[in-house]
Amino acid sequence: MGRFAPSPSGRMHLGNAFSALMTWLGARSRGGSVVMRVEDLDPRCQVPGRAEAIMDDLRWLGLDWDGDPVFQSRRGDAYDEALARLAGLGLTYLCFCTRAELHAASAPHASDGTYVYAGTCRGLSAEEVARRSAVRAPAVRLAVPDADDPAGTVEVDDLVAGRHREVLARECGDFLVRRSDGVTAYQLAVVVDDAAMGVTQVVRGRDLLGSAARQRYLQRLLGLPEVEYAHVPLLMAADGRRLSKRDGDLDLGAIRARGVRPETVVGRLAHAAGLTDSDAPTTPTELLQGFSWDPLRGRGDIPCDGITT
């Protein structure tokens, strides 16, 4: 079973559309189902109409799903329970670091600009925790094994990216499972929800490959099924940047407003990704025939010029 997991922080862009197409093909080509989960954990995502616009864009592309959408904003109890289990294992601790302290004390991660947490709050005494809790709401972190402990090395066999190996202590350090504003961290929510929804295959953009190791680690700690991953290439704007929600002219709202047909978008996306020999208009259903992950393996970011013009 696959899943769409849009964050309604804005309209979908072509990269989101491509990941969604691959999610659908990955599941439907095996006769599997697809579920819809709206990742609206962040209060800034809880804007009326945003999730509906994304679902409408997916339908417009010819991508369907099974059952009713699940909204992360309504799943707090399940996340609390998982957090309590991690705490019960003695693996969580409160973190009082401010953003500025995090930047000052942490080693920046070379490849993606995130940071490796230095473990600043790991050894705080109970008195210190009580003293700081009185003035500042803490976040919650998961303590990962030291770099020389094999338990903290996670390997993920990705259908597209191949074998990905990470030493958690070096790549991210103790990571957040709950933010200081009380919002469940993305890593934990995803793992809890994928298991609860029966998801077996996770397809998404390559920018989330690093998260797969953290999510696999959480699946193991919580005794949840280990999902299969496929991290697909990202779409690249004409100037070589990766597409983001700021590229408004390449979001589905703008593309649809220009009168571009969904078959044109699907045909050109599939061709740019190497799935088809021609960029003729097509539908997701037509692409099911002979679908394989092979063309995506070893492929760099996909240029998106010409896809919607």
CB of 187 to ligand GLU, least distance (A): 9
CB of 177 to ligand GLU, least distance (A): 15
Nearer to ligand GLU, 34 or 121 (CB): 34
User: Per-residue string for binding with ligand GLU, 24-63, x by CB under 6 A?
Assistant: ---------------x------------------------
The CA angle 110-11-175, to the nearest 5 degrees, is 35
**Window 199-228: residues binding ligand GLU (CB under 6 A):** 204, 208
3 state DSSP class of 223: coil
Nearer to ligand GLU, 39 or 247 (CB): 39
CB of 296 to ligand GLU, least distance (A): 16
- Residue 193 in the binding site for ligand GLU (CB under 6 A): no
- Residue 308 in the binding site for ligand GLU (CB under 6 A): no
- Residue 5 in the binding site for ligand GLU (CB under 6 A): yes
Distance CA(194)–CA(36), nearest Å, equals 11
- Helices 14-28 and 50-61: crossing angle, nearest 10°? 60
Helix (H) or strand (E) holding 164, with range, is: strand 162-167
User: Is 304 annotated as belonging to a binding site?
Assistant: no
Nearer to ligand GLU, 50 or 204 (CB): 204
Contact region with ligand GLU (CB under 6 A), list: 1-9, 56-64, 117-125, 172-180: 1-9
User: Is 28 annotated as belonging to a binding site?
Assistant: no
Whether 22 and 11 have beta carbons less than 8 Å apart is answered as: no
DSSP-H helix ranges across the chain: 14-28, 50-61, 76-88, 99-105, 126-133, 168-171, 186-197, 209-221, 252-257, 262-272, 284-287
CB of 286 to ligand GLU, least distance (A): 25
Q: State which of residues 2, 6, 119, 138 lies at the interface with ligand GLU (CB under 6 A).
A: 6
Contact region with ligand GLU (CB under 6 A), list: 4-12, 161-169, 263-271, 288-296: 4-12
Of the candidates 215, 221, 213, 208, the one whose C-alpha atom is nearest the C-alpha of residue 154 is: 213
Q: How far is CA 6 from CA 23, 42, 213, 258, 295, in A?
A: 12, 12, 20, 23, 25
* Footprint of ligand GLU (CB under 6 A): 5-7, 39, 190, 204, 208
Q: Which residues are annotated as a binding site for L-glutamate?
A: 3-7, 39, 186, 204
